[in-house]
Structure formats: C-alpha cells, structure tokens
C-alpha cells in the first residue's frame, strides 16, 4: 500500500472509531509496522489534520474534520452497491427507492475511472422476491415513528392465529433474508417483543411520544437480547451435557 493510501486509510479508521484506536490496532489492519504508523500519524498532524493522541490510550480524530466528499476506494464502492442492492430487494418501497437513488448519486460524482466498479460490479445478491414475506402495514411510517419516538398501536396475529391489540414503543427493525421484525417495548407485556411485519393486521400511528429516550431504550433492548441469547445458549449446553 502506498503512503498516500495509508494516510487516507488511517483517517478512515479514525472517522469510524467510536473510541480511541491504538497504533497497534492500526498497524494490524494496515499490515504494516508500528514505526510506519507513528510516522504516518506524525505526517497527518504536520498537514494539520486534527489527530490527537495520548500514550497508552490511542488516537482520535477531532470533531469537525472531514475529507473531501466521496473519496471512495473500489472496495468501498462495491460495498455500497452490494448493500444498496440488498436493501432495494428487501426494504419497504421508500427504502428501496432510497437505495437506488444512493447508487445513482454515487455514480454522478465519482471519477470516471471508478465507474466500472459501480456499473459492472462483480458482486450481487440472490433474487428472493418470491420468498420474501411482504409487509402488511407501512413499514416506512414505522421507521419515521422510530426516529420521532412516537407510539404505534398494533393489531397482531401470532403464529397460532391468536390476535391481540397492543401499543408499542418502536426501537428497531431487523431485516432477515425473508422476513422483517419490528422490535419494540410492549405496554401490554411490559417487556421487549418482536413483531413480524407480515403478521400485523392493523397499525395506528399515534402522535404521542413515548417517555424513554430512544438511544437508551435501544441500548436496553440490545442488553435484553444478549441476556436472552446467553440464557438459551446455557440451556442448550446444559441439555447437551446431560445426554
């Protein structure tokens, strides 16, 4: 990897990191030496890139800095196109349109020598149109409700055809290969529940905001899922040991 490419790669690592990243971690990803990383970081600082670091902790990029728009590598272009194609084939109509618009916008601004990676990409996703369970309500509005922290009242039919009506606080939508799940805090059950979007028979989008902050609620949901996963893993291991 040329030095210019390494400098851009280091900036990209710092941009995506949520915590200080060590020189050792950067050296491992770049497949280079610690000495080279130290020298490259010093070069970035000399070029007034706002990198700050502390011994034993790592480096961070100060807020407010950004590289010129769409300085993309071929791998980044292929990743964006592959992800957009997956979303276009499995997302709700608004999300599918957004995915196609994203590819068009990238194509409009990238240099001509990179366009073959966009238009003639070697990566693709299988067509699952005939297998995907179609949403039975407007999932696009559910995404708006998640962003706005507003409640939804659902009429839901479960796997044994039992119907319930409940008000939920939506926190996330999980996209699987053929189905989608709405993750939400359920006021009826007083716990997190998951609802398949093809089993919702009616959805009323309310103006009322739920009281919890969505980032805290989402963190609590992830923790609950980890606890549940650990419980099932332990149960399976215990059963296997007893055999």
- Contact criterion met (CB below 8 Å) for 216 and 169: no
What does the pLDDT read at residue 65?
Answer: 67
Q: What pLDDT does residue 237 have?
A: 75
pLDDT at 55: 63
pLDDT tens string 157-184: 988 999 999 999 999 999 888 889 999 9
Cβ burial of 92 (10 Å; 0-12, 13-18, 19+) is: buried
Contact present, 153 and 166 (Cβ < 8 Å): yes
User: Residue 175: what are its φ and ψ, rounded to 5°?
Assistant: -105, 110
- For 117, counting Cβ atoms within 10 Å of its Cβ (0-12 exposed, 13-18 middle, 19+ buried), the class is buried
Would you kindly state where each structural domain of the chain is located, as residue ranges? Answer: 3-61, 74-119, 139-237
CATH ID of 3-61, from 1.10.10.10, 3.40.630.10, 3.40.50.620, 2.60.120.10? 1.10.10.10
Q: Which fold has domain 139-237?
A: SH3 type barrels. (2.30.30)
pLDDT in tens, 82-123: 888 888 888 888 888 898 888 888 887 777 777 777 777 677
pLDDT at 243: 65
CA torsion sign for 22, 24, 29, 34 is positive
d(CA 230, CA 237): 10
- Per-residue pLDDT, 148: 93
* pLDDT on residue 164: 95
What's the predicted TM-score (pTM) here? Answer: 0.66
Whose CA is closest to 72, among 44, 110, 105?
Answer: 110
- Give residue 67's pLDDT: 57
The residues, ordered by sequence, that sit 6+ positions from 117 with a Cβ below 8 Å of its Cβ are 74, 77, 78, 81
pLDDT in tens, the chain (243 residues): 678 778 888 888 888 888 899 999 999 989 899 899 999 998 888 888 888 887 678 998 887 666 555 567 788 888 888 888 888 888 888 888 898 888 888 887 777 777 777 777 677 777 766 778 888 899 999 999 999 999 999 999 988 999 999 999 999 999 888 889 999 999 999 999 999 999 999 999 999 999 988 889 999 999 998 988 888 888 777 766 666
Residue 197 neighbours by CB under 8 Å, 6+ apart: 133, 135, 136, 137, 139, 142, 173, 179, 180, 181, 182
């Amino acid at each position: 990897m040329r030095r210019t490419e390494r400098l851009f790669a280091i900036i990209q690592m710092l941009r995506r990191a949520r915590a200080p990243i060590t020189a050792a971690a950067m050296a491992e990803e770049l497949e280079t030496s610690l000495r080279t990383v130290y020298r490259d970081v010093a070069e970035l600082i000399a070029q007034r890139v706002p990198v700050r670091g502390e011994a034993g902790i790592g480096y961070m990029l100060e807020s407010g800095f950004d590289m010129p728009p769409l300085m993309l590598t071929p791998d980044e272009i292929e990743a964006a196109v592959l992800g957009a194609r997956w979303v276009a084939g499995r997302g709700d109509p608004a999300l599918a349109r957004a995915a196609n618009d994203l590819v068009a916008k990238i194509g409009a601004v990238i240099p001509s020598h990179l366009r073959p990676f966009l238009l003639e990409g070697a990566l693709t996703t299988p067509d699952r149109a005939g297998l995907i369970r179609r949403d039975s309500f407007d999932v696009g509005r559910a995404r708006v409700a998640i962003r706005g922290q507003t409640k939804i009242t659902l009429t839901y039919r479960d796997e044994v055809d039992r119907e319930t009506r409940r008000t939920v606080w939506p926190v996330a939508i999980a996209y699987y290969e053929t189905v989608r799940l709405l993750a939400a805090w359920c006021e009826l059950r007083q716990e997190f529940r998951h609802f398949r979007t093809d089993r919702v028979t009616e959805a009323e989008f309310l103006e009322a905001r739920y009281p919890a902050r969505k980032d805290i609620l989402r963190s609590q949901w992830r923790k609950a899922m980890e606890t549940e996963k650990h419980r099932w893993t332990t149960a399976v291991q215990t059963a296997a040991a007893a055999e």
